[in-house]
Structure 1
Amino acid sequence: MRHHRNSENVNAGSMADIAFLLLIFFLVTTTISTDAGINRNLPAFCPTNDCATLTADNNVLRIVLNNSNDILMNNKLVPLNAISQQVSNFVNNNGDNSCSYCSGEQLLTASDNPQKAIISLEHNRQTSYELFIQVQNSISKAITDLREVYSQNNFRKSLSDLSSTEIEEVRKAYPLIISEVETN
């Protein structure tokens, strides 16, 4: 007579518990990286269907990034390091002499005041992502520098030391209005 040897059964009930505990451990201890994006506010909701307003040409600064990664500002080729200063001059122009805190040259070809200044950023699909981000950073730097000067002059504090109501006043004085257009 042959002996059949039965294999012993292993109690695997606690294996599920161990696997579950390991899963929880790795979920809790793992860091999830978040992508940094461009901090922009969406346009406000328009309650009526007639929200298109005409803007004077002098209040729009057109920046075009073409497929050769050239930067054209109002149809003139400019280097990347000149964008911040030119955006600052455009926004701070005070063309209509209504801005008491602006120190611009009051040129007829630049914005009437900071609230009317619009920066139109056009880019081609072949424009490099790095150039697009660098131009966005230059625009943001220009507005931040203007806000810092306003903060120092009006509140005698740095922009980072302002209260939330003071920050709101600074943002109203120098709003960041960017219109982004993608061309083919």
Structure 2
Amino acid sequence: MGRRATPEVNAGSMADIAFLLLIFFLVTTTIEKDKGIARQLPPPIEEELDVVIKQKNLFIVNVNKSDQLLVEDELMELKDLRQAAIDFLDNGGAPAGSPEYCNYCKGKRSAESSDNPQKAVIAVQNDRLTSYEMYISVQNELVAAYNTLRNRESQRLFGWDYTEMKKGIDEGQITGEREDLIQEQLKEVQELIPLKLSEAEPRKSGK
């Protein structure tokens, strides 16, 4: 009596099935998008520059290991940070007639706060144990402060919001000659309200 042959497994078919399962997994699986900050970094500086910043032109933001916000040596709620940054940037403290006078600033013009947006610098330092969520939230509030002022100036000069036009160009909705024109106008607004956001190396917890 003859022996029954053992059926062979078709390795080629198994590979095809595995490939199809992989494609199915990639198509049907939802991968959560990480939060992050989209920001264009300035070009590297070829030589070191000694920059002296007046204390009144420096807005210091600290975040400790417990995610507490200390702004200009005072505790502050996150919800108040944006307006505090706007008040600092838009202060316009340089006296009238001086080269640093800001004729478009609408702040209190306090001699103890920033001279103009070009001179104003926001310095941020976090603790190494600061949560990533708090880090992102602080950055978002500060960038929103800059964008609020940029929107105001772009409305005054051109009748549109800076953030909307920037988004339109980034997403390819504005192209051609109009894009070239808008890009020049965006640069003009950026010169009026430059984003000068400095971030120090995170300090060790407890310091």
Q: Cα RMSD between the aligned structures?
A: 2.5
> What secondary structure does 1:63 align onto?
strand
From 137, 147, 152, the equivalent of 1:149 is: 152
Residue 64 of structure 1 corresponds to which residue in structure 2? 62
Question: Which one has the largest radius of gyration?
Answer: 1
1:1-184 aligned within 5 A: 3-9=2-8, 11-24=10-23, 26-27=25-26, 33-48=32-47, 50-97=48-95, 98-159=101-162, 160-161=164-165, 163-181=182-200, 182-184=202-204
Q: CA deviation at 1:150?
A: 0.5
Q: CA deviation at 1:136?
A: 1.6
> What secondary structure does 2:43 align onto?
coil
Q: CA deviation at 1:133?
A: 2.2
AA aligned to 2:203 is: T
User: CA separation of 1:79/1:31 partners in 2, compared to 1, >3 Å: closer, same or farther?
Assistant: closer
Inter-partner Cα distance in structure 1 for 2:22 and 2:66: 49
TM-score for the superposition, normalised by structure 1: 0.83
Inter-partner Cα distance in structure 2 for 1:70 and 1:15: 56
Inter-partner Cα distance in structure 1 for 2:84 and 2:111: 15
- The unaligned stretches of length 5 or more in structure 1 are none
User: CA separation of 1:30/1:151 partners in 2, compared to 1, >3 Å: closer, same or farther?
Assistant: same
TM-score for the superposition, normalised by structure 2: 0.75
Q: CA deviation at 1:120?
A: 0.6
Residues paired across the two proteins, number: 182
Deviates more, 1:60-69 or 1:13-22: 13-22
- CA deviations on 1:39-98 (whole Å, 9 max, x unpaired) are 2333431122x2231211111100111223322111122222221111101111122252
Deviates more, 1:157-166 or 1:105-114: 157-166
- The unaligned stretches of length 5 or more in structure 2 are 96-100, 167-181
| Identical-pair percentage | 40
